[in-house]
Chain A
Amino acid sequence: MTFSVGPVSDSIASWIAGLGVPALAAQIVAVLFVCAAPVLGIVFPIAGVAQYFERKVAGLAQRRKGPMVGATGLVDFVFDLALFFQPKWRRRQTARRFERLPVVSTVLGKVRMWGLGSIAADGVKMFLKEDMAPAGADKLLFHGSTYLAMTGAFLAFAVFPFSQWFHMGDPPVAALYLGAVTGLVAVSVLKAGWSSNNKWSYFGGIRSVAMIVSYETPIALSIAVVCMWSGTMSLQGIIAAQYHPGWFSIAGWNLFQSPFLALVACVYYVAALAECNRAPFDLSEGESELVGGFHTEYSGLRWGLFFIAEYSDMILVGGLFATMFLGGYQSPVGEEWIVSLPPVAEALVHTAILVAKAVLSVGFMMWVRWTLPRFRIDQVMRLSWTKLVPLALVSLFGLAVTQILTATRTGVVEIAYGRYSSAPVVRPDLFSWMVSWAVVGGAMVALVAMAKHWGAPPEPIEMRRLTGKGAP
């Protein structure tokens, strides 16, 4: 009996077994390591540091300086211990004199300027705060929903391909599975809001569920478009179908295959922003009207779990966007040199590439968050049902037609990529590609130009309410 999830776990198991551990135990440890490594080694650190970068980006975008935590408290603490029997003013005076030493002031100035102390301070604060539950709260749900929030985010990583060799599993219906587990966010948020015994929390939970249920539709449609184009619902298959030999491997990425895929990428990203409760769709925690939204009553580490779940969702969305449209873990400058590496090295390089893409996406989300104000609930609903869903449907039909027309010219092929070969896919040759971009892209540009000239300028929603004209 052997446990294995691929060559990476095999190599680790043989290395552990070489230390004198029984083979079965070594295999189990190796599989557990491969399963836990993405979450513990990638998601947790990024989520921990992301709060700092979020605040820094916020400060920079608003012409502030962002976090600038000094080390004053730490220096004071050290001198309190060192000069315990001195009067307090003498201890403080000595600490200030120490801080004014040239080298010390330079180092402390850097720490203060970059605000690095806030990372540690946040962590310490989160662990030390009292864990409280409000009176009248449903304790089981109140405590359980924090774990459920994490569960939804982390279950998605079970099928998430970090490399050809580095994943927990690759079910042929991974896309369906993702749609199912990412919906768990709504459940946890609703449970948290309901069990808090607080009307503001409850409003936050209800808003979040209304929004997430609406945005599941465009997400499912855009995933369907990608699956249709790749001919498979397996994430490894989708990535394999984007393989393009040679140094110019960007040419294989789904984003550039067809204007419809580019359109659906935008639809997916906007809908996924809403799915992880990110600004400008963070209605569930609209602090200006709902105090803290669904996590108003949570403190300390329980709040931290929600927070980590949010950032895990962001990383997941970034990774899925990369998987579906940006070639997944494939590098933008040729793949052959990576695939020829030994499995562990290849896994490391591919993971680094995918994490880089996901982190870029997280950065973009921060940029968006500190640019756009929060939407109203009716604006959110209108955006989903009157804009994103029709756009996704148009892309679905448009891409189907494109595929049929292209297939009659080029036929279907199978792409061999490392361990995987793709399902039979339509791969446009240069002529079909140029024609599709020229025709569809030209039509889009023409439509936009016509709309700018002849389209009725959109009336503000308040005017519609007052005049009763042009109601959607």
Chain B
Amino acid sequence: MSILGWVREIVDGVQSTTTGLGLTARFIWENVTDKKGHGNAMTIDYPVQPAHVPDGFRGHLFNDVDRCTLCKSCQRACPIDCISMEGELNENAKFRISRYDIDLSKCIYCGLCTQACPTDCLTMTKGYELEPKNLVNGRGGRFLFRMRADQTKVKLDMLEVERLNRLTAQDPSACTDDDRAFLSRIEDPEKGQFLFARYGMGYYTPEEKAKVDQARADKKKAREQAAAQAAQLAAEQAAQQSDKAPGTAGT
């Protein structure tokens, strides 16, 4: 190694070091002297500033119950059976939904139910927070993981559920005093206010989970049994036909 090569190594090292130092100095300077607030850092100050949510983000499900026809396509499309619903005929002899539950503890946010929906009333929003003010309709994120009616201390009948449903869908300022009294009366002393029939059930007790799992297993077994029976029937029919076929060909 010649002496000039040796000097060259030192010079290159010093040059690259000073270049890097200049770069970090520029970053620090820009960060410190930024007028807009705390630096021009790339960090998003998330709970204070809104986080960027890309298009096509699959967040919480939202069902526009006024357009829902209770066709149960979503229920069939759901790979993990987290959707359940009930309905009744309204005065125009149309199906009207009275309960629509999405079990958010099971939902995998796959979006298959929204593709199956014929009226496009079931959509995936960009919401992913449980904080009330950040929800789509601006109401009740705390309600998402609420308890079911039979798990709470306050029991509601169907009329009360419907009223609650109606109240939560409308603007809070439009509530009458009677409505407010009603809301405060059904407030759970432990968990605070809760909401029925808009989003699904959250917590299971172990016994209940066992019960639900058992019911699901039974359902699956029945479905498989039916399928097996159908296959058997088809096979028998095919055998009968093939038994007949040579005879007919012969005659």
Contacts and interface: CB of A to CB of B under 8 A. Distances in A.
Given A60-B32, A372-B17, A448 B2 contact: no
A456 B28 contact: no
Interface in A56-107: 57, 59-65, 68, 87, 89
Contact of A60 (B7, B13, B27): B27
A20 interface: no
B79 interface: no
A431 interface: no
A387 B4 contact: no
B80 interface: no
Nearest to A391: B10
Given A59-B41, A64-B43, A458 B12 contact: yes
A438 interface: no
Interface string A430-462: 000000000000000001101110111110000
A451 B8 contact: yes
B168 interface: no
B23 to A, nearest CB: 7
A63 B41 contact: yes
B236 interface: no
Contacts of A62: 27
Contact of A65 (B23, B25, B27, B38): B38
B11 A452 contact: yes
A61 B23 CA distance: 9
B158 interface: no
A291 to B, nearest CB: 27
A456 B25 contact: no
Interface in A347-406: 367-368, 370-372, 386-387, 390-391
B9 interface: yes
Given A371-B24, A456-B2, A64 B11 contact: no
A371 B20 contact: yes
A458 B9 CA distance: 6
A16 interface: no
A455 B191 CA distance: 76
Nearest to A458: B9
A458 B13 CA distance: 10
A34 B12 CA distance: 47
Given A451-B7, A451-B8, A89 B191 contact: yes
B170 to A, nearest CB: 24
Interface residues of B, number: 33
B7 A455 contact: yes
B21 interface: yes
Nearest to A114: B38
B5 interface: yes
Contacts of B5: 451, 455-456, 458
A63 B42 contact: yes
A370 B24 contact: yes
Given A60-B39, A451-B8, A456-B8, 19 more contacts: A59-B41, A60-B31, A63-B41, A65-B43, A367-B21, A370-B24, A371-B17, A371-B20, A372-B17, A372-B20, A447-B7, A452-B8, A452-B11, A455-B4, A455-B5, A455-B6, A455-B7, A455-B8, A456-B1
A41 interface: no
A468 interface: no
Interface in B121-140: none
Contacts of B23: 371
The interface size bin for chain A is 20 to 34
6 contacts: A61-B27, A63-B27, A65-B38, A368-B21, A371-B20, A456-B5
B172 interface: no
B56 to A, nearest CB: 28
B87 interface: no
B118 interface: no
A413 to B, nearest CB: 35
A113 interface: yes
B109 to A, nearest CB: 27
A387 B14 CA distance: 12
Given A367-B25, A368-B21, A65 B11 contact: no
A61 B9 contact: no
A342 interface: no
Interface in A13-66: 57, 59-65
A57 B4 CA distance: 37
A89 B188 CA distance: 12
B1 to A, nearest CB: 6
B129 to A, nearest CB: 15
B189 to A, nearest CB: 8
Contacts of A472: 1
B17 to A, nearest CB: 7
A90 to B, nearest CB: 9
A456 B43 CA distance: 43
Contacts of B17: 371-372
Interface string B25-47: 10110011000001111110100
A451 B27 contact: no
A470 interface: yes
Interface string A399-426: 0000000000000000000000000000
A390 B10 CA distance: 12
A305 B7 CA distance: 41
A451 B15 CA distance: 13
Contacts of A451: 4-5, 7-8, 11
A263 to B, nearest CB: 11
